[in-house]
Amino acid sequence: AQSWGYTKQDGPHTWGQIAPIADSGKRQSPIDIIPREATYQEALASRPLRTIYLPQNSKSVINNGHSIQVCIDGADSCLTGGPLEDDRYEIVQFHFHWGTTSKTGSEHTIDGRQYAGELHLVHYNTTKFSSFADAAKSAGGLAVLGVFLTPGSENASLDKLTKLMSRVQNSGDSLDLQDGFDPASLLPADKTRFWSYPGSLTTPPCFESVNLDCLQGPDRSIRTTAGAVPSTEDRKSMLPC
Ligand code: BO1
Ligand code: ZN
């Protein structure tokens, strides 16, 4: 398979060559969120998103050549509630998107403004599908929970991961999470305020199966110290950005 990345040669404007839906699709993520054009759904006020995550389900940290990813054996870990109707979405992995400065990195923007980074927790619908691969091809198959990252005070939980990142500097590197890791520790406490829309995988294969992308408001984003975000040098060695 042809590879993709973030350089001039293989960046997003070229992804349509390997994933035609990236160019022809009608619900491609990411998007620019314009809060004044979003509608408030009263019904969701009494339906918070609910996560049941078991720390011991987080198995490893890998550098997959595109991102740093925590792999989860999520059989007992799931996302429900909010706009997800009565379906259950099992978590399979979470990963980060970031740039080379604290001004760039997030994929989604708010009123055109980009954030330093974006965390994606990737889930698939186990009520309707028997595997991630099946779900990924179908509308309503996936749910990605997004959290903007912005420099600020230290986040002890994120620190645990960024400390490990120096051990997976090259594509293909991985390490075992001996003590597990609780993905819920990276989420804001308020699970009733989020934006949601029908979207897609943000990278090839860009499938339009993401029922919702829930983006916490920037005021609710997890704050990290400058030191908690990998240094520009570290990021250069970890990711081709
Ligand atoms: S994202 O959350 O929209 N950035 C996103 C983008 C691409 C994938 C997942 C999330 N890709 C898929 C791969 C599968 C893999 C799966 C789970 O991620 O296409 O091969 O099994 O890791
Ligand atoms: Zn992502």
pLDDT digits (tens, 9 = 90+) for 159-209: 999 999 999 999 999 999 999 999 999 998 888 888 888 899 999 999 999
Regarding the beta carbon of 149 and ligand 1, being less than 6 Å apart is answered: no
**159 or 240: which leads in pLDDT:** 159
Grade residue 40 by pLDDT with cuts at 50, 70 and 90. confident
3-state helix, strand, coil in the chain (%, to 5): 20, 30, 50
- Which of ligand 1's atoms lies nearest the C-alpha of 204? 7
Residue 126 clears pLDDT 90, i.e. is over it: yes
Regarding the beta carbon of 144 and ligand 1, being less than 6 Å apart is answered: yes
Instruction: Say what the pLDDT of residue 220 is.
Output: 53
Between the CA of residue 140 and those of 102, 119, 178, 205, 211, what are the distances in Å? 33, 20, 33, 16, 4
Phi, psi (degrees; rounded to nearest 5) at 94: -135, 155
Instruction: Say what the pLDDT of residue 194 is.
Output: 87
CA dihedral 30, 32, 36, 42 (to 10 degrees): 0
Regarding the beta carbon of 123 and ligand 1, being less than 6 Å apart is answered: no
Instruction: Say what the pLDDT of residue 223 is.
Output: 53
pLDDT, averaged across the chain? 87
- Distance from chain centroid for Cα 135: 17
Token pair, residue 80, equals 């429900």
Atom 20 of ligand 1: nearest residue by CA position: 133
Instruction: Say what the pLDDT of residue 1 is.
Output: 56
Tell me how far the alpha carbon of residue 127 lies from the centroid of ligand 2, in angstroms. Answer: 23
The reply to whether 13 belongs to the active site is: no
